[in-house]
A and B are shown apart, each in its own frame.
Chain A
Amino acid sequence: MRKRTQLVGFEFGYWKHSQYITEFLDNSLDAIETFHWKEIEKSDSRNKFSLDQETALENLSLMQDLLEEETFDSDDKEELSKEKEEEAGEIIDKAEIEVEEEVQRIIDDLEELLKPIEDLVDIEPIVVVRLRESEPPSFLTSELSQKNVMNYTIEIFDNGIGMSKGDLRKFGKYLASSKSVELKQTRGSQGFGAPSAFSDAQNTTGKPIIVASKTSDMVYANTSEFFTTSKNEKRYLIHPVDFDSPFGHGTYIKLNYLNVKYVRGYVDTYINETALMNPHITILFIDPYGEQITYPRLVSSFPKQPKYAKPHPSSTNIGDLQDLIAKSENLTVSAFLQENFVRVSPKTAKEIIIIAEKDLQNKNNLLILKEGFITKSKKKEDPIYLLKKEKRVYGRSEKLRDKIIIYSLKSDDLKNDYWTLISEFINKDKNLISINKSINKHNRRIETVNTKKEQKNIEKEVDKLVKEINKINKQNEEIKNQIYELIKRNESGLLELKKFPSRTEYEDLIREVQISKAKPVELSNEQFNSLFHAFKSIKYMGPPTDTAIPVGDRVLENTLVKEIGLKISENIEDFDDPVSNLVSVKETLLKEKKKQESLSSEDAPLDRSVNNSEIEISVSRILASYDILENNGDPDEFNNTFNKVFKKLDDESGSSYRDLLNYFIDIHSKDDDFASAETRPPTSGKGLAYVVEAALAYCNDPKKLDTPKRSRDVLSRFVNRTPKLRDSAECAITKAVQSVNWKNYKLDTFDNNLPKGPIKLLVNVSGPYVHLMFKSQSKNALAEDEELIKEIKYCLEAIGRRLRAYLNKKDTFRKTEKRSSVIERYIPTFVESLFNIAKTTESEYKEKSSPEELERLMKEAIGKKTTLKLIVEQRTEKPVIQKEGERKEIPKKVEIEWEKEVEEAVDEKSRTEDHKPETETFSEKTLLKWTIKELLEYSKEFDISISPNSKKIDIINKIQSYKKTEAMVEKPTIEVEEELVKLISKRPESLENYVTSKESKPIKETPPKPKPKGIIPQTIQTTLPVITTDKIIATLNNEWQNITHLIFKLKIKDMMDARYLQNRLKELVRREKVEMLIIKNKKHWKLK
């Protein structure tokens, strides 16, 4: 058997394990995707994956452990039987009985492997990979035995499209891959991988390869056991046999290979990264230590099917063209070009052919004229022939038929005229050659030039030369026409050569020159070369970009979040509207509003509508609140606060409502991790269309994601979703990542300028022709390309900007937190001193207050001014103070001032209606929360003395500050201040009454227009756990329901939530609140 391992180099070493995995895992993923895409195109598909089920894989590992031992046994048997054959010296087809036994063994193997997932095998896109260590082979050479070499069995199953019998027969041969026919954005591409692996496997162990496969159209699966041979043929030990398979469609491959001992860090990394980029497929991996790693499917949809992409001329090399031409069935070259390449229009095809023909004419010294051909003689003495097709009767037929007639130019005049023309033509051609040379020179210079300006200059020159070429070409055409005219005019000077010795030679020449008339398959070598040069010399439009399908930034983000377990508050827009909730909330809101209005003013119209989007947000908030409730363990307090505020949601321009939102946002997103992905729009350069995407996760929990010690662990490179683990330093992706200035984005870097921190960075390059972008055949590193590096850099910088914003925000939070802790530390000392004084002096608070109370009040005031609690506390506490204040006399001055203002305000109101909304809609509470600056600005806007609300506070502030300066000298400020506060709290009613009695319209009706502190940000973040235990119990009833029912009822669309639900259900069963029963392999639940 010839060693063919060189094609895809398989060498002993840790990498070899992952090489095997790479070859087959990629194929499997492709197969699954192909199946899915095929199925979803059918309108009545029954076999397609149902992507809504939960992946019940928890029990898998347990069962697997039990099975493990058995499999080893069967394996040993197998080995024994094989070794016997080995001894026999020659591999012969097995007797029928033996074949039956062997097939049974394969089926048993397969069933063992699939048993744990038998429920899922037809509905869940799944790949199972099992790698096992078997006994070290006895025939080891001394060279190998030193290396701690073991025998490994790899089994891989996927429930993809499967192979038909015919395909199966081809499988294992080189270039039998589907991808060499149709070039799509797929993982593998050339069909070398699997055959190379087979070859290595049988070369190292001498054991056959077992393949079983079934498409959804087949009733039985087909299996065979074979060797591949050096003639690219298969030698069967078991010829393809039908059998009943435990799976509906898919492929199973089992082979043995020899390699150094398996260690972790290669295969598992590869599978892990594959799972990251392919979250739409469940991957199960059982490593040689028996450990099972599960990567459940994380998304409920597949990526878009990539379009079939025709090759682009710029990225086509001569071999490709040759292959295509050999296979083509087109009748003309023009049709062939148009059909097989993208961006080749009829016009460009014609252009290509003209160029090719011109080349051929020069080479063969035969010029094509309008009618006929003429030789291009180089010397004056040479005979000149004119070849022409004419209708003649010749041969046996009596009809007129085309015949090539050869004339020679006889008359000297004609010859001379011809000569003058043809010499001009030849001169022009010579010019052309020199011009082409200088163009090449310029092109070479461009590459060495540094500045853009110089580059442009050269380009300009080249353009000039190209124009000149075109001109010359036209002139030459003109000359040819002139020759044609010349001959037509002097037909008498022609002499028909009836018996011409080299007639066939000239006939061949005609065929050679006329590429446009030739069949592509029949092109001669010279023609092909000319065609290829012409094909490459033309400028084409870039390839269409719709053939490159990215994974998608959303998918990447989610995968990162789920895979690492980041704590990320989701965007509120992502939240699926719980319709029923919305409706009920809306109703409550309306009811609440009506109630309030009927209380406040009887004749007010009741048709106030509730803003839909506001409710939506509020509902999300409510749900978010439950999360806080569970997390912070302070449910009662929170619930109370929440209820209070929610009831007041309607009043006072919804300011309290907004406070609530802000409060949640703050509470919620403060220790968020960060995940962001960016997908660039597809680009096409140099004949390749590709799309670049990147994702970055930043984790605050070192248990989940710590700063890697090695720089290469930070970055994961992918090409068409396939992880690339080797040659990272040479890859264009690495270079691009290094070119980003990460310090700008608040990230530290390693010495090689890769970012450093608790981060994970993924970069994926997808496109139909990426295999052409690799540096070498090993397909591990992308070649450096300016355009590609720029794309990746832009992509990373976009993410970097987001990261910086996030890190900045985090810093601010940390500072705030530090501040509160510092302030909190001082509170007891402060209060102690304060209260000690109060105790010994005749303070009015001596009896009423306690240090604990003061401390509590101050602690609550820490943090943001607008916290929810603060507002609520204020509401409950205030009356007490006010009562105390009542005893004091209201300073007269202030009272008068107040009355005056009311009058002024009302006057103003009746005069200018426009000002009303602004002036009226602010509650005193809102205003109290305003900073003085804002108030001042506001009052400036509305001419201070007019708007009563802001004015009031403004005055308070002024009086406060003013009084403070004098207070200590004369009178106590506090009394004044307190009375003012009291007055404000009274004011709205009085004012309202006053106004409503005067005007028919209630002021309250005016919408809340000016927003005190910015509108609610569009991208409010919050986690939205839909499921609570209460909710689950509410959904359950006395009928048996399975998980899909529950998922439907709870409107879960996220796998994580579904898993959460599952766990909750388990817990409920344990607590005996819920009954569980397995019906048809599925768990069903009902209430007890």
Chain B
Amino acid sequence: MASKSENWDLKATKQLFQEYLNRNLKEQKNKKILPVETVEIDDLNKTQALKRIREFIDSIIEKIYKDGRPSIFLPSRTTGNIIWDEENDLLLLGKQIMEKQFHSLASVADITRVMKVLEKVNELLLKDLHATKREIFYSAVTLFGDQKNSDKCIEDVASMLYTTRNSTHIVASAKGSCVGRLRIRDRNDIIDLEGLGGGGWTISPMLDNVEIIESDAEFILVIEKDAAMMRLAEARFWRKYPCILLTAQGVGNVAVRMFLKRLSKELNLPVFSLVDSDPYGHYIHSIYLRGSKRLSYESPFLATPNIKLLGVLTRDLDKYKIPNSARIPMNKQDIKRTTDLLNEDFVKKNKEWEQDLKLAVKLKIKAEIQAFSSHGFEFLTDRYLPEKLTTGDWI
């Protein structure tokens, strides 16, 4: 097997890389234009954010003086108000506005919580600190009651200020890791991601402190599962094929997605995802691709529209002769999820993807990345990935 693997030259990947480099030179000139009927979200720095908060507070106090009945307005984040921007392949917020009144039993708790979060955000910004969602929750447990409530309010605050969550200095807990041919600076520490062993660098949620220094990678590989990541790291995959490996251990959280976005933007590398061959895996891919619905307003800052789905595709199962023992029959819920995915606009637009999902529904089969270990543990690193990357067998 080892002798065979020498042959993979990643021709297709290199081509794509070249393409990106060329396109990037052109694209630099024309900026991204968002559709008219969507809300514009800015990434703000500290002082800008503080100014916005001040303005908001003034308006509230003014309202209290006027009739004693304060209320806040924020863009609605319901499904109806989420618009898919075809051109940029992003989910964006529409212009529906929601009012939260203080003197209404339905929203009085909400508005008070939002105000509490805003207070914390203000404090964080003033002191230039970051806090996790959990920390915010514990700052006023009785008021929030449940972390769900505080998480929702954090998003409310961000959208209310028409800014990204990152700009509010509230970060998600670190969950992802990164390894490969990359050198970064976290405040004063220079970290070489090649020399961190198998574990890699835990992606810091405080990305505004992180600076990308250099990289000689030719592509980025996002992996759904930690186990697959370990496999690749153990094989020192990046030594043979210059790349950066990234995992979020499941659905990509804000920090991972943002880091990926920055990597792909700054380094201009082709991005591939390696997920399970099941609807959930495809969903994870779609999150990287165009952002989650919940945080749709932040999509421009989180989504990586040019990510390619490398595998595991349903068609790969036959192609690589995955034995029946490694194939798992789909249950009802899986089928439902798959059909749901098939109804999404971004899937419909991508014919190849649609076809693959349809095939999955037809065969009613799913498989995990680990299915390849039935051909030996090295199969993934020595055969599957290199072959796909060389032949350009991705969606």
Contact = CB atoms under 8 A, between A and B. Distances in A.
Q: Do A and B come from one complex?
A: yes
A contact face: mostly helix, strand, loop, or mixed: helix
A116 B109 CA distance: 66
Contacts of A858: 64, 68-70, 102-103
Interface stretch (A56-64, A595-603, A835-843): A835-843
Contacts of B126: 840
Interface stretch (B113-121, B182-190, B224-232): B113-121
A981 B105 contact: no
A881 B92 CA distance: 38
Contact of B61 (A843, A861, A877): A843
Interface string B98-116: 0000110100110110011
Contacts of A838: 57-58, 61
A724 B119 CA distance: 71
Interface in A767-819: 819
Which interface class (under 10, 10 to 19, 20 to 34, 35 or more) fits A? Answer: 35 or more
B115 A822 contact: no
Interface in B72-118: 73, 75, 95, 97, 102-103, 105, 108-109, 111-112, 115-116, 118
Interface in A844-884: 844-845, 849, 854, 857-862, 870, 873-874, 877-878, 880-881
Contacts of A870: 67-68
B108 A974 contact: no
Contacts of B123: 840
A833 B67 contact: no
Given A833-B115, A858-B69, A974-B62, A822 B108 contact: yes
Given A823-B103, A826-B108, A968-B52, A845 B69 contact: no
A978 B73 CA distance: 17
A865 B323 CA distance: 71
A438 interface: no
Interface in A965-992: 965, 967-969, 972-974, 977-978, 981
B322 to A, nearest CB: 51
Given A823-B102, A836-B119, A862-B103, A880 B54 contact: no
B61 A849 contact: yes
Nearest to A981: B66
A1006 B109 CA distance: 46
B67 A861 contact: yes
B131 interface: no
A878 B68 CA distance: 12
A219 interface: no
A819 B67 contact: no
Given A826-B112, A837-B122, A841-B122, A854 B69 contact: no
- Of the candidates B64, B75, B115, B162, the one having the most CB atoms from chain A within 10 angstroms of its own CB is B64
Contacts of B112: 826, 829-830, 833
Contacts of A841: 50, 53-54, 57, 122
B139 to A, nearest CB: 11
Contact of B68 (A836, A837, A843, A857): A857
B97 A964 contact: yes
Given A834-B115, A838-B61, A874-B67, A964 B73 contact: yes
B217 interface: no
A829 B143 contact: yes
Nearest to B109: A826
Which interface class (under 10, 10 to 19, 20 to 34, 35 or more) fits B? Answer: 35 or more
A301 interface: no
A826 B62 CA distance: 19
A874 B58 CA distance: 19
B40 interface: yes
B115 A830 contact: yes
A834 B122 CA distance: 11
B161 interface: yes
A961 interface: yes
Contacts of A928: 67
A862 B115 CA distance: 19
B55 interface: yes
A584 to B, nearest CB: 36
Given A841-B50, A964-B97, A854 B122 contact: no
Contacts of B56: 968
A965 B97 contact: yes
A953 to B, nearest CB: 13
Given A843-B54, A969-B40, A833 B116 contact: yes
A845 B42 CA distance: 27
Contacts of A880: 65
Contacts of A843: 54, 57-58, 61
B281 to A, nearest CB: 37
Contacts of B57: 834, 837-838, 841, 843, 845
A855 to B, nearest CB: 9
Contact of B62 (A823, A829, A881, A961): A881
B116 A829 contact: yes
Interface in B132-187: 143, 160-162
12 contacts: A826-B108, A826-B109, A833-B116, A837-B53, A837-B54, A837-B119, A843-B61, A858-B64, A862-B103, A874-B67, A880-B65, A972-B58
Interface of B: 39-40, 42, 50, 52-70, 73, 75, 95, 97, 102-103, 105, 108-109, 111-112, 115-116, 118-119, 122-123, 126, 143, 160-162
Minimum-distance CB pairs A-B, first 7: A861-B68, A974-B59, A841-B54, A833-B115, A857-B68, A833-B119, A964-B73
